[in-house]
Amino acid sequence: MNIKNQSCKCIRTMTVNANSKQDLEDFKSYIIAEKNFSHHTAKAYCSDILSFLIWMDEQSCEDVNFSKIRDYLHFIQKFNYKKTTIARKISSLRTFYKYLYRERKVEINPAISLTNPKRPKSLPKFLTPDEVEHILNNIKIDTPAGYRNRTILELLWATGMRVSELAGLNFGDLNLVENEIRVFGKGSRERIVLITDRAKSFLERYLESARALVPKGYDIGEPNETSPVFINNTGYRLQTKSVRNAINEVVEKISLPKHVTPHVFRHSFATHLIENGADLRVVQELLGHVSISNTQIYTHVSTQHLKEVYNQSHPRA
């Protein structure tokens, strides 16, 4: 058994202070109801805090100083977490104690001076337009599920939506007359994305015929405003894992030497808009980024791509 498993086994034998348990429950309600954290983020933050409380054993989280938090961070270093995971755990603690301070559960915020580790700088991976078309053209559309998958990837490519946003689409979110789709992103923030005529054509044909045929032997009835756009073979909302599986299947089939995920389609969408002269603020709006600094990474991707093309093409490079 490795050190991580041994330490985790030890942690599981500990208990959690009763007041701390209640603080965590209240914190969960706060970040969901007031901070509008996504379900995924709220779950991750609460899991991080629970691990901290278990490590604390019977000591209340309200009786903690900076030294105690620092000891905990030293403790989790032995698990060799990625820097991004450590950064999230620190962010969880900061948010938790900011909440406790706001609620006057603690007189001094012991986590206020915590700083995140430097994250490794890496440019997002993206596909060339030819690679995207190669993927799209190799999806079998001779079955209702296959046609659905082609429609999904057409939409990811045309809109830059997150896969979770796409899976969450309902009929009431579609305004195909105006080539618009309403999307609910992180923190339930609403925005409008635009779709190309080609993606719209695939989506209309899917809704008119293929969607009703996807469920095998299940009567799904007539859709209403809250009916999911994309469904599985039992008539329920399609899960994001199914989208990833569909991408993996076609990428493996064509032997594309890249790791392709739904988010790579989002990166590709943004990169190609920037390369073709789109205003950064417009791209920010389409992607649903709160801060433009998140969008600026694509200008670096575009510059890097230009350098690669230059070095490959210029006779003196």
| 182, 263, 300, 305: the active-site residue | 263
The yes-or-no answer on residue 263 being catalytic is yes
The yes-or-no answer on residue 206 being catalytic is no
3-state secondary structure the chain: CCHHHHHHHHHHCCCCCHHHHHHHHHHHHHHHHCCCCCHHHHHHHHHHHHHHHHHHCCCCHHHCCHHHHHHHHHHHHCCCCCHHHHHHHHHHHHHHHHHHHHCCCCCCCCCCCCCCCCCCCCCCCCCCHHHHHHHHHCCCCCCHHHHHHHHHHHHHHHHCCCHHHHHCCEHHHEEHHHCEEEEECHHHCEEEEECCHHHHHHHHHHHHHHHHHCCCCCCCCCCCCCCECCECCCCCECCHHHHHHHHHHHHHHHCCCCCCCHHHHHHHHHHHHHHCCCCHHHHHHHHCCCCHHHHHHHHHHHHHHHHHHHHHHCCCC
The yes-or-no answer on residue 266 being catalytic is yes
| 88, 89, 148, 162: the active-site residue | 162
The yes-or-no answer on residue 300 being catalytic is no
| 88, 266, 267, 272: the active-site residue | 266
Contacts of 107 (CB under 8 A, 6+ apart): none
| 28, 186, 237, 305: the active-site residue | 186
| 150, 200, 272, 289: the active-site residue | 289
**Nearest by Cα to 86 from 115, 57, 122, 124:** 115
| 45, 97, 147, 298: the active-site residue | 298
The yes-or-no answer on residue 298 being catalytic is yes
The yes-or-no answer on residue 148 being catalytic is no
The single residue listed with the structure tokens 């190799």 is 138
Show which residues are catalytic.
162, 186, 263, 266, 289, 298
